[in-house]
Homo-oligomer: A and B are copies of this chain.
Amino acid sequence: MEKIVLIGAGNVGYHLGKRLFEKGLRPIQVFSRTPSKAIQLAESIEADPCSCLVDIRRDGTLYILAVSDDAIEPLSEKLSLHLPANALIVHTSGATPSTVLANSFSHYGVFYPLQTFSVNRPVNFDQIPICIDAPHKRDFEKLWGLGHVISSSVHRITDEQRAVLHVAAVFVNNFTNYLFGIGYDILKNHQLPFALLQPLITETVAKIKTAAPQEMQTGPAARRDKETINRHLKLLHEFPTFQTIYRQMSQGIETLKK
């Protein structure tokens, strides 16, 4: 039986811990620098909480680092002073190469769930792509098996590929959400409810399940309808940032082949 030590109880650690527990792979210990967070998650998944690095169990068969990107490297250095040299350690970050762990551990890898997590929102793990990699075959196989326990979508993704995936994720998640926020602000400014745009947003996403997004591109920029574009830019005079983005996105769309 795997002895998993979960290091980090933030958005990713929380949902990963819950999912492992749900699937019968209860982590033995949960570490968080914030004792209350360690206790809260640990209690809900019947693990032991821990808030001091020196208390982290040394007999784990897998250490999962679910911490912020910039904490991964310094934390793994500290852990290497405490844990056995042959411990297997993985991080869960889309933006960080696996090799930042290589300075401290010879057995390392990545276990990256490609999704946006919030503690207070349940997630359907079964559909989440789990992107894994590890230089040693046996470590890889262990992660591969673990991935399949919690999701039906497991992929070998190299550091280079994961970096590409992560930048693409920024476009379709962070930037898309920002556009939704712009829609929200424009409507709010005229006392119109954002709910009016919800069916349109739902359909925008539903459409790209059946065809490439480029084939679904519509609107004034796709039609090269300068008159409407100029009218829109005028309407946005109260929002210079939105004007700039409108111009930039329209120019981008105009470069698409008709």
Contacts and interface: CB of A to CB of B under 8 A. Distances in A.
Contact of A169 (B153, B183, B208): B183
A169 B212 CA distance: 20
Nearest to A252: B241
A171 B183 contact: yes
Nearest to A97: B231
Interface in A151-181: 153, 155, 157, 160-161, 163-181
Interface string A180-197: 111110110110101011
Interface residues of A, number: 90
A205 to B, nearest CB: 5
A245 B248 contact: yes
A157 B236 CA distance: 19
A204 B173 contact: yes
Given A161-B190, A167-B232, A184 B212 contact: yes
Interface of A: 69-70, 95, 114-116, 118, 121, 123-124, 127-129, 131, 153, 155, 157, 160-161, 163-184, 186-187, 189-190, 192, 194, 196-205, 207-210, 212-214, 216-222, 225, 227-228, 231-232, 235-236, 241-242, 244-246, 248-249, 251-253, 255-256
